[in-house]
Structure 1
């Protein structure tokens, strides 16, 4: 167990913590001594994970069952943290899904839920927690984007546009918050071996892809965490993904970031 007084005094909020990259983040942070507030819909899984991590690393691990497609969920999560004396020092905005049907054939309630889950909820959670991080002079935020943010848009899918928003918003907020000790990173994985494709019903087609395209969630998390700790606003984990992303964008991500930071005519301070 890796633990010290600094990390033991800090707490990480992880959304979508019941599976995949969210679970991997929870395990990675627990091993470093961070206390945890785990959020997902499946409370039974959260409790099992909390018991595992508490036993293994002797940390505080709270759980809060919430469906982030509910507009009331982000405020309820932060209210729960405040009521229990939990200051959020690390935010892992991981919860997500992808639509499976054509836009015009999808009920608006489903589309609205997708936008709430992956656009509004993570943005609200950042807004509700970043102020405290800034006040304390330290914070880390990882937002799950995707290599899709660098890809051409797919027919009918909002996913590419959503993940592009996450990547760009993360960089903008990093520019604002970094001078105050708060780093924001967009983590942009490619194909990752999680339940995502089972939930989306795309496992059969995904399984036909070459093995070289796939990463384990633990590898994605390790690269993402190293990136946010190093102050890198965008992390594309894996050599294959880095090559693919660079081939799809005319300017390297780092150059885009520098230009956006220095040439913004609307910059406030």
Structure 2
């Protein structure tokens, strides 16, 4: 059976990936910080789908976290056929006034952990000449976002990195996809300290299940990138590329500052 490793698997899009892949009879390795949530999900999926579910409790912002996860899979004799780098978070606010440690942790999780895990598992996929990688980015990747500066920049990195790997690795039979969902039903806004008034101005919210299904369909079609959102968001993203940078940044800063009542 195929085995998928999913980071950030204790909730949101990560949990939705776990449930969808379990229903497709895929064995799972679930990675997150919350041992209670992971064990509960693992037990439920094992009982319902009769699959193997392993749990690795790890904070991926810690030094050498990716190596620890990789070594755990080796120790357990697991072959990872699908790597889903889903773990990530953001933080709303003026960068100069933000908590330094929190901003660094965003980079450590959204960028460094993604790169490190990919570098551990991709060479083995090349040796087998098969495998899949899904990196979860965001619609925020396609323009700088004032007051979400580090988060948006980290997701822009994920898009550029993933698309380059798609080109490098398809000759080895390896699929690489970067999924870019719009606003999704997760705890993102709460964890990012988003002002409620600003969160309410977001566009149509997708379900985590929709994000997962569209991502897996795009992966099957060998797409390098999939934007998962409503038509209006697609259109705004396309128009943003045509707007002069000064105007775009001024409009974005006004929206994210005024919308929050700052």
TM-score of the pair, normalised by structure 2? 0.87
Residue segments in structure 1 that go unaligned for 5+ positions in a row: 1-7, 251-269
Matched residue, 1:76:
68
The structure 2 residue matched to 1:112, chosen from 104, 110, 119, is 104
Alpha-carbon distance between aligned partners in 1 of 2:109 and 2:144, rounded to the nearest angstrom: 22
Residue 238 of structure 1, CA deviation: 2.9
Alpha-carbon distance between aligned partners in 1 of 2:78 and 2:110, rounded to the nearest angstrom: 24
Matched residue, 2:254:
none
1:57 counterpart = 2:74? no
Matched residue, 1:140:
132
Matched residue, 2:18:
26
For residues 44-66 of structure 1, give each alpha carbon's deviation from its aligned partner in whole angstroms, at most 9, with x where no partner exists.
00001101111111100000111
Residue 154 of structure 1, CA deviation: 1.6
Q: Give the alignment's Cα RMSD to 1 decimal.
A: 1.6
Q: 1:39 to 1:156 in 2, by over 3 A?
A: closer
Is 2:144–2:153's contact at 8 Å kept on the other side of the alignment?
no
Is 1:197–1:206's contact at 8 Å kept on the other side of the alignment?
no
Alpha-carbon distance between aligned partners in 1 of 2:235 and 2:26, rounded to the nearest angstrom: 33
Residue 242 of structure 1, CA deviation: 2.5
Matched residue, 1:259:
none
SS in 1 for 2:134: strand
Matched residue, 2:221:
230
Is 2:9–2:38's contact at 8 Å kept on the other side of the alignment?
yes
Is 1:140–1:229's contact at 8 Å kept on the other side of the alignment?
no
Matched residue, 1:185:
177
Matched residue, 1:218:
209
SS in 2 for 1:122: helix
Q: 1:203 to 1:154 in 2, by over 3 A?
A: closer
Alpha-carbon distance between aligned partners in 2 of 1:238 and 1:202, rounded to the nearest angstrom: 20
Is 2:91–2:194's contact at 8 Å kept on the other side of the alignment?
no
Is 2:8–2:86's contact at 8 Å kept on the other side of the alignment?
yes
Aligned residues: 241
Alpha-carbon distance between aligned partners in 2 of 1:203 and 1:34, rounded to the nearest angstrom: 38
Residue 198 of structure 1, CA deviation: 1.9
For structure 1, which segment, 156-165 or 86-95, has the greater mean C-alpha deviation from structure 2 after superposition?
156-165
Q: 1:174 to 1:76 in 2, by over 3 A?
A: same
Q: 1:179 to 1:145 in 2, by over 3 A?
A: same
Alpha-carbon distance between aligned partners in 1 of 2:197 and 2:127, rounded to the nearest angstrom: 47
Residue segments in structure 2 that go unaligned for 5+ positions in a row: 243-262
Q: Moved runs in structure 1, 4+ residues, more than 3 A?
A: none
Alpha-carbon distance between aligned partners in 1 of 2:98 and 2:229, rounded to the nearest angstrom: 34
For residues 53-89 of structure 1, give each alpha carbon's deviation from its aligned partner in whole angstroms, at most 9, with x where no partner exists.
1111110000011111112211000000000001111
Alpha-carbon distance between aligned partners in 2 of 1:244 and 1:139, rounded to the nearest angstrom: 34
